[in-house]
Structure 1
């Protein structure tokens, strides 16, 4: 396949088949990744290929950005000890992520050439993935890539026209007519207020329905493994959300996780569920008064949840 054709063919795949990927093909991908440019020829990236189904599933549980049940997950990490030894301080700040990104692109283009699908993400719990891959503290995770044989043909995403992204010599404001604007691009004051009221009403109705459903399900006995997996996912999602501007999201998510932990403890017993409940109860009140302490609690809870695996 010609390079231009490969570039056009590559897509972010979020649905994979059960067909396994051979280690021979996986080695080809890593060889392509390792040919990417690297600042000062540091070659500090390290590639960790998870193809054991149990390990893949565990990493997936702690990576909200992954979807489609990939058969393989590739972690690209940077060897900080190597960088320190070579004395490249600038690489520690920005070069390593750039190197990892270029290696990832090489890998994803080679995968597309072989008919494989990939999707690169940054949404994962760093401590949990470190623990699952048994990485030393001197390894910094940069990117996770889900990989496998695509199931179905992904849609072609809309791309911006060249006049919106290409500039010769200096910046010029792109011209855009009002007719070309999407509803999302319209100024907030131009939107109809009744639409906002309707959205608020829908949210209120959903909240009332959710509350009624919660009361009904509290008395039911759920499958332990399903609840356990959901608990892990919810805690990990909350741990990744504090970087967003709104802190209520993590607070509500961790509170939901705390209630699930209590339900699991009551239904099945288990020391870890009780420890999770106590940890969350002690730290959730820091959401507004001590954001750093709240974030530390979320990371501790995510690490504690790995003991359920």
Structure 2
């Protein structure tokens, strides 16, 4: 058998496990419609608590969850989600938001919670470098150009800055990626409690940010519809291309 081919014939003892796994995958593919079953408040609270435990590379936490509860806000949010069935029929609509304005608050919290006292210098330097985001904030003008030039001089003099982030784009990408992990945690927690979820990439972010009262330092990464999946929640058979076209061994 070629190394690029996968043997799909399972041994008898593995068939039940493979079938169970297949059913799980199929059930998570394309949820679009929910029943009218409510999600208890304590279940949602526990799922949100678990979602906050998403892993990231630096202990800083840039994500927030906005549970859209009021009837008026829900109506506007559904419209902003292009009236998708997942939004209209969901028991709960949750906005998953990345922040890029809480760098220093996060860093201070990390240093307060650090297990050893005093905090090692290397750790402190990691979170409290001279060249910080606040240093770069403000309008684009002669002063900001001078700041940018100063940063280049410091970089050349000291070598790579011992900080996890360098530019606003770096921070936005980092925050977005980690927030996506938190959203995944939330969806997995909901499923573990017997509910399902549908991530909606299609939504009007400027309108959603206005609804939630968010500024430019916030980015709505995902809208999640959650509830009990209806039997007809998956519209149709989901087709996929042949695996040999997309699986490569290098």
User: What TM-score results when the alignment is normalised by the length of structure 2?
Assistant: 0.57
* Structure 1 partner of 2:41: 23
Q: Distance in 2 between matches of 1:106 and 1:160?
A: 28
CA contact (8 A) 2:80 2:203 kept: yes
1:234-249 alignment, distance < 5 Å: none
CA contact 1:12–1:117 (8 Å) conserved in 2: no
**Deviation, structure 1 residue 50:** 1.3
Q: Which residue of 2 aligns with 1:244?
A: none
Distance 1:30 1:151 in 2: 23
In structure 2, distance between residues paired with 1:123 and 1:111: 21
Looking at structure 2, the residues matched to 17 and 53 of structure 1 have their Cα atoms a distance apart, in angstroms, of 18
2:238 matched to 1:157?
A: yes
Query: Are 1:66 and 1:146, in contact at CA under 8 Å, matched by a contact in 2?
Result: no
Match of 1:157, SS?
Answer: coil
Residue 26 to residue 7, structure 1, CA distance change in 2 (3 Å): farther
Aligned-partner Cα distance in 2 for 1:160–1:103: 29
How far the C-alpha of 1:137 sits from its partner, in A, is: 4.0
Report 1:15-94 matches (<5 A).
Answer: 15-64=33-82, 66-68=84-86, 69=88, 70-83=90-103, 87=132, 88=165, 89=167, 91-94=170-173
Residue 132 (structure 1) shift:
1.7
Alpha-carbon distance in structure 1 between the residues aligned to 2:25 and 2:52: 19
**SS of alignment partner, residue 244 of structure 2:** helix
TM-aligned CA deviation for residue 8 of structure 1: 5.5
Mapped to 1, the partners of 2:206 and 2:219 lie a distance apart of 10
Q: Is the 8 A contact 2:99 2:175 kept in 1?
A: no
Partner-residue secondary structure (3-state), 2:102: helix
2:175 to 91, 96, 117: 96
CA spacing shift, 1:76–1:157, aligned 2, 3 Å = same
Q: CA deviation at 1:145?
A: 0.9
Distance verdict in 2 for CA 1:8–1:108, change over 3 Å: farther
> 1:117: how far off?
2.2
**Quick one: higher RCO (CA 8 Å, sep 6+), 1 or 2?**
2
Q: Aligned residues, how many?
A: 168
Shift of 1:92: 2.0
The CA distance in 2 between the partners of 1:136 and 1:26, in whole Å, is 26
The RMSD of aligned alpha carbons is 2.8
- Could you tell me how far 1:65 is from its partner in structure 2? 6.7
Q: Do the aligned partners of 1:7 and 1:109 also contact (CA within 8 Å) in 2?
A: no
After superposition, the C-alpha distances for 1:120-165 in whole angstroms (9 at most, x for unaligned) are 1232222221222223443221111111121214255234454333
Q: Which residue of 2 aligns with 1:280?
A: none
**Change over 3 Å in CA distance of 1:118–1:79 after alignment to 2:** same
Q: CA deviation at 1:42?
A: 1.6
DSSP-derived class of the 1:41 partner: coil
Higher helix share: 1
The alignment's TM-score, normalised by the length of structure 1, stands at: 0.47
Aligned to 1:274: none
1:115 aligns with 2:200: no
Aligned to 1:241: none
**In 2: Cα distance, 1:161 partner to 1:28 partner:** 39
